[in-house]
Every structure is written in structure tokens, then in C-alpha cells.
Amino acid sequence: MKSRIKTAGKGGSARQKQAETGEQETSSGLRRGVAVDLLIERLDDEGIGIAHSQGRQILVAGALPQDRCLARISHLGKTVVFADLVKLIDPSPLRLQRCPCSDAALCLGCPLIAMRYGEQLRWKQDLVQAAFNQYPSLKHIVVPRLLTPERRLGYRTTAKLAVAGTHADPYIGIYRRASHDVVDLEDCPLHHPMINTVIRVVREGIRKLKVPVYQEKNKSGILRYLVVRVSESSNEVMVTFVTARRAFNEIHHLARFLQEKVPQVAVVCQNVNSSEGNVIFGAHDHFLTRQQTIQERIGQVELLVSPRSFLQAQNDGARLLYETARDWAGLDGSQQVLDLYCGIGGIALTLAPVARQVLGVELNKEAVADAKRNARLNNARNCRFEAGDVLELLDDLLEDELRFSCIVLNPPRKGCDREVLDKVAEFAPERIVYVSCSPQTLARDLDILATKGFHCEKVQPVEMFPQTPHVENVALLLRKELKTT
């Protein structure tokens, strides 16, 4: 069955929609609904095709450089024009003869999936290089080819999925790019096969048990999101149903139905999120199974994972990331290490066998609880973890006059706050290992650290999400004397 889209938008004429979204018609002839013949010049940082027509830049999702295509204008704003790919007139030589996903143009979740894999790697390498080239302090860096995992498909072990439609016709999938429309996923080629199985069975269960699906418009219904994590090492599955209210009976019956059909489901959790907005998880978890975690192995580290734990969604890529961080930390068993934004302890526990002491710091209390359990699981007696605001804990550590030979930074996509970088520099570590999921914020922060006496020696991009524009990086900084002018 082909994937479908559940439209969340309101009805109305095109002109009404233009008024609602701030769209404008122009004297150039571009207007919503008109198909334009375009030549795609390049991709933007999110993997979206860029073309120009009648003096305007047009973004076309699903298009590749050197595609000549017909695209229909879907949004016309003051600063940006979006268009939907209608058909390829002259396909790019960068395209595969056969795309591994028949619904790629509809879903748009993996904008590079139709591109030859070698070209994907070159594009990501250039993306990182371009981010570094914006800063004079980083122009000496030559970005190498990406470290790549073995699998390019079927690698994703975590999926966070929206639920839409009705109990009679449920949609389970992802939000289509730049919209609140849900693409119903049938057999995503990036998902671990067990995730696709769970989606299929949950969809069947919603229909059979008449589980009310949450309706954003009038705030009725129950089921909002489905979150699935697969452990490849233990062959166990953890499923979280995110609901608008407790609603025990409906979810209890759905959980039993799922476990009967998929015995690998070892953990079922109901997370209650009654808030509005796009945040998936609420604050309260209710377990419908006695088991509350699954165990995964990344490299030599065993990790217990709970429903709201963050763990990279690609085990092979995570191993490459952790091992690069370990190798670049330059540890010989005598050093103290500070791991900031440590999550559930994956990097800290990878460093532990070659460090004297590792201290992990993380804001999320649940993640720190997981990290402490993981330290016990791995018998890492030289690892300890503290929960709290990173900046406040750095102040406390400075007051206690603690010193660290190496500091690991692994912040969220927005990067580090300037104040955090200031405090890190005060410790004057010999090395900083910076792990990042955003080339742009990584380059920005490395440039700031350069002004504080830390020279970026090298960077290594890591392929975590094949077929997508995302690329992880590990950077090594060494302390140097501040330059004087």
C-alpha cells in the first residue's frame, strides 16, 4: 500500500490560504499553484534543492543538483518560495537509477535518498568544510571523508511518530516537511524492520480496539504519538504510547494486543502529555510492563535505555563517534575527564577504561539516573554523574578548584552557550573533544574557543544518518598560548 498524507490544515480558497500564511502574488508571474520549469543548482543545508526563476530563489524538496524538473509553487512569501516536485524532465546524473523508497517524494523525510551514496558523502563533507571556511580561525582545517557505518538502510533503531486520523482510519508516521500533515508510513526503508512491524500492528490494534486518536483541532481523543526503540544486541523492543490523558483501559488493551502479536516488545510505557505544541513527551511515565528498560550495546559499553533516554538512533554510527572521541582524548589512565551534556553516559563509559576518573554532567535527571545505572552495569567505578544546570555545576567545580586534563562537550543542536565556553576555558584543559550534530554551531563554538587559547587540530565527520542531510562531527582542540597583537 502506498503511503498517505493526513492533512491537518483547514479548508478554504487558495487566496484565503495565502492570506493566512502571508503568501503574495507577484507581478513576475509566480503564484501559488503554477508549475514552473526549473534547473536545480545546488542543495541548501537541509538538503532542499535550490533553483531560480523570474528573479526569485525557489526551494524544491526532493530535487537534486542538475535536475531539470517541473515544480508547482506551494508557498510564495516575501523572502522564500517553496515548490513541490511534479516530475523530472531531465534527471540529474547524481540520481540513482532506482530510488530505494517509492514514497520519497511524498514523505520528504530523507531528501538525499535518491542521490548516489558517494555523492551524499561528498555533499556532507563539503557542508562541514563550508561551515568551517566561514571563520578565519578554522580555515586551516581540511575536512576528511566521513567515517561510514556498514548499513545505509534499515539502520534506524528509534522512531518518534505522530498519530493522526481516526480509530477507523489511523495514520502513523512523520510530519511532512514544513507542515502539520502526517505521512502514514507503511514500510520505511530507513527503519529497523522491527519498527515497521510495530507500526503495522499498532495501526491494526487502533482499528480493532477503537482507540480514540487525538484530534488537535478540538483537543479530543487520546493517542498522540508512538515512540519505538529497538535493541539490536538484546533483540528487545520498547514502545511508548504518548497520550493526552491517563486513559488506562484503552492503552492497556492496545499494549496487550501489541505484545501478543510482537513478543519481542519487552517494555510498554504510557507517557502522558496534555500540553499543546510540538514537544512529544510529557513529564509522567506509567509502565504497563514489569520491565522498564531495554539493554543495548554500543562498542564495548552496555547501556540500559529508558523511554525518555537519548541515545543515537544508529548503533554503528554511535560506535564510530564514541571511539573517535576516546582516541582523540589522548588518555593513558592518569587523567581526570569532564563530560558535559553526558546523557545516559555512552561517551563517559567509553572513556572510563583509559581514564583515572570521569565526571559526567547532564541537566536531565532521568538521563543521569540511567547513567548511574549504566556505570554499575559496566563496573565503571571511576565514573560518577551529576544532574543539574551545566553552567552552575561548572561554577561549583571551579570553586572547588578541580582540574581536568580533558573536557568533552556534546551539546544539543544549538551548541554551547557562550557562558559555558567561558567557564570551560577557565579550567585550561590540555584537550577539548567537541562532539556535535550541527556543523554550523560547531564551527561557531570552535571559533569562540580559538579566542580563548584553544586551537582546533582536526575534525572528523561521522555518518550517523545515511540518506538524510544530517552529519555528526568530532573536533579536537589543544590548549595554546593566547596570541597577542
**Active-site residue numbers?**
437
- Cα distances (Å, whole numbers) of residue 242 to 202, 262, 272: 13, 19, 6
- Cα distances (Å, whole numbers) of residue 263 to 199, 201, 242, 304: 14, 12, 21, 20
Buried b or exposed e, range 241-276, using 16+ CB within 10 angstroms: bbbbeebeebbeebbebbbeebeebbbbbbbbbeee
Strands 182-184 and 223-231, how do they pair? unpaired
Find out whether 225 is annotated in a ligand binding site: no
| Residue whose entry in the numeric block shows the C-alpha cell 556534546 | 410
Count Cβ atoms within 10 A of the Cβ of residue 293 and give its class: 0-12 exposed, 13-18 middle, 19 or more buried: buried
- Cα distances (Å, whole numbers) of residue 190 to 17, 51, 109, 156, 349: 34, 28, 10, 6, 28
- Taking alpha carbons only, the member of 403, 392, 406 closest to residue 331 is 406
CA 115 to chain centre: 20
The answer to whether the CB of 273 falls within 8 A of the CB of 279 is yes
- For 140, list phi and psi in degrees, rounded to 5: -80, -15
CA 422 to chain centre: 27
Distance, CA of 82 to CA of 53 (rounded, Å) = 12
DSSP three-state, residue 296? strand
Distance, CA of 29 to CA of 274 (rounded, Å) = 45
Let me know how long the chain is. Answer: 485
Find out whether 434 is annotated in a ligand binding site: no
Find out whether 410 is annotated in a ligand binding site: yes
DSSP three-state, residue 128? helix
Any idea what DSSP says for residue 198? Answer: H
Find out whether 362 is annotated in a ligand binding site: yes
The answer to whether the CB of 121 falls within 8 A of the CB of 465 is no
* Binding-site annotation, residues: 312, 341, 362, 410
* Binding-site annotation, residues for S-adenosyl-L-methionine: 312, 341, 362, 410
